[in-house]
Amino acid sequence: MQVFACPACSGRVYFDNTACSCGQEVTFDPRTQAMHPGGDFCINRAAIGCNWVAETEGYCRSCTMTETVPDKGEGDNVLLWARTAAAKRWMLANLARWGWFTDADTGRRPVFDLLSEQTASGDADIVMGHADGTIVINVSEASETTRQVRRENLGELYRTMLGHMRHEMAHFLHMRLAEKPGFDDDFRALMGDERADYSEALKRHYAAPGYPDDSFITGYATAHPHEDWAETTAHLLHLVDLLDSASAAGMTWRGGPPPGYDAYAEPDAGRLVGYAIDATIAVNHVNRAMELPDLYPFVLGDGVRGKLAFVHAHLRLNA
């Protein structure tokens, strides 16, 4: 993610800020990828800290995509909604760097149902997923405690709201890309036939879970070609944003990208992934000085890198 400039004092402003330290209120405009002074605030600014500019009936581009929000009168749902919506805005701003969901992109937009396990009628069972353009996100996992318990129970190395957003959005992006001639054939040659029975594939996976290897970024990626695509795409988005954020913060290292490097403009997936991995190794080393977990605890085999390159080539088509 970029580091922005305050329109009043030119000081540093970060993506989630609603105001600069100088006192200037700011709004983010996804059309210009810049912070602007004041402006038409999104209706949800006061409730959830949305700092995007209003576009449609008082809602910003991100909030317009949300069809359902959690029951605001129950428990911590407003706070959980705020954290979830922040992850959604971050993801959408990243994808806009490649032209997705911008004014120039005339394709279908996703719809989000942000649901909570806490409802007025009692606890609900929320299954995250994507179906025909609708993305369901369980905002209850915006609770750090809840999410970490589930991460440990599932034996996962990484589980965040931004990770959930990127994974489920990947399913939607696959649906969009499948409209392009030739995509399905190329996809099936690399990742398998996604027409295979999905429910049966998941039953087999949970009965005998797969493991990451040279060709699969995570164990869940082995379950079905749709999940291989979603996991691989999410990790590509992790790595590109990680590298872009490091560059925006002014980080440099021997053999790294030049000053002013734009990770989203990089056409060579191999070079991009190489830079990103070098950045994670450096940050991992720093984290260990504070006895913190590794930033990116994954090993990328040649098979996985080939899949990352495939996803990269197709997601950049809108750039």
Amino acid at 240: V
pLDDT (0 to 100) of residue 158: 83
pLDDT (0 to 100) of residue 146: 87
Can you read off the two tokens belonging to residue 60? 């910003």
Cβ atoms within 10 Å of 2's Cβ, excluding its own = 18
DSSP code at position 19: B
List Cβ neighbours of 64 (8 Å cut-off, separation of 6 or more).
55, 56, 57
Rounded Cα–Cα distance for residues 250 and 22 (Å) = 22
Residue whose pair of structure tokens reads 């990947």 in the numeric block: 170
Residue whose pair of structure tokens reads 């392009």 in the numeric block: 180
List Cβ neighbours of 272 (8 Å cut-off, separation of 6 or more).
239, 240, 243, 263, 266, 312
Strands 34-37 and 26-29: antiparallel
With CA atoms as reference, report the closest residue to 165 among 96, 238, 99, 264.
Answer: 238
Residue whose pair of structure tokens reads 């750090």 in the numeric block: 144
Map residue 132 onto helix, strand or coil.
coil
DSSP code at position 251: -
Rounded Cα–Cα distance for residues 279 and 168 (Å) = 26
Distance of CA 203 to the CA centre of its chain: 27
Distance of CA 192 to the CA centre of its chain: 24
Could you write out the DSSP letters of every residue in 131-170? Answer: ETTEEEEEGGGGSHHHHHHHHHHHT-S---HHHHHHHHHH
pLDDT (0 to 100) of residue 318: 64
Amino acid at 256: G
pLDDT (0 to 100) of residue 56: 87
Task: Write out the chain's pLDDT in tens, 319 residues.
Answer: 999 999 999 999 999 999 999 999 999 999 999 999 988 999 999 999 999 999 989 999 999 999 999 999 888 999 999 999 999 999 999 999 999 999 999 999 999 999 999 888 878 899 999 999 999 999 999 988 888 888 888 878 888 999 999 999 999 999 999 999 999 999 999 999 999 999 999 999 989 888 888 999 999 999 999 999 999 999 999 999 999 999 999 998 888 999 889 999 999 999 999 999 999 999 999 999 999 989 998 989 999 999 999 999 999 976 5
- The answer to whether 222 touches 228, Cβ cutoff 8 Å, is yes
DSSP code at position 264: G
Q: What residues are paired with 112 via a beta bridge?
A: 66, 135
- The answer to whether 27 touches 41, Cβ cutoff 8 Å, is yes
Could you write out the DSSP letters of every residue in 51-119? Answer: -BBEEETTEEHHHHTEEE---TTSTTHHHHHHHHHHHHHHHHHHHHTTTTTSTT--SPPPEEEEE-SEE
Residue whose pair of structure tokens reads 């937009």 in the numeric block: 109
Cβ atoms within 10 Å of 212's Cβ, excluding its own = 19
Residue whose pair of structure tokens reads 């609900």 in the numeric block: 124
Residue 130 to residues 172, 214, 243, Cα–Cα distance (Å) = 7, 27, 28
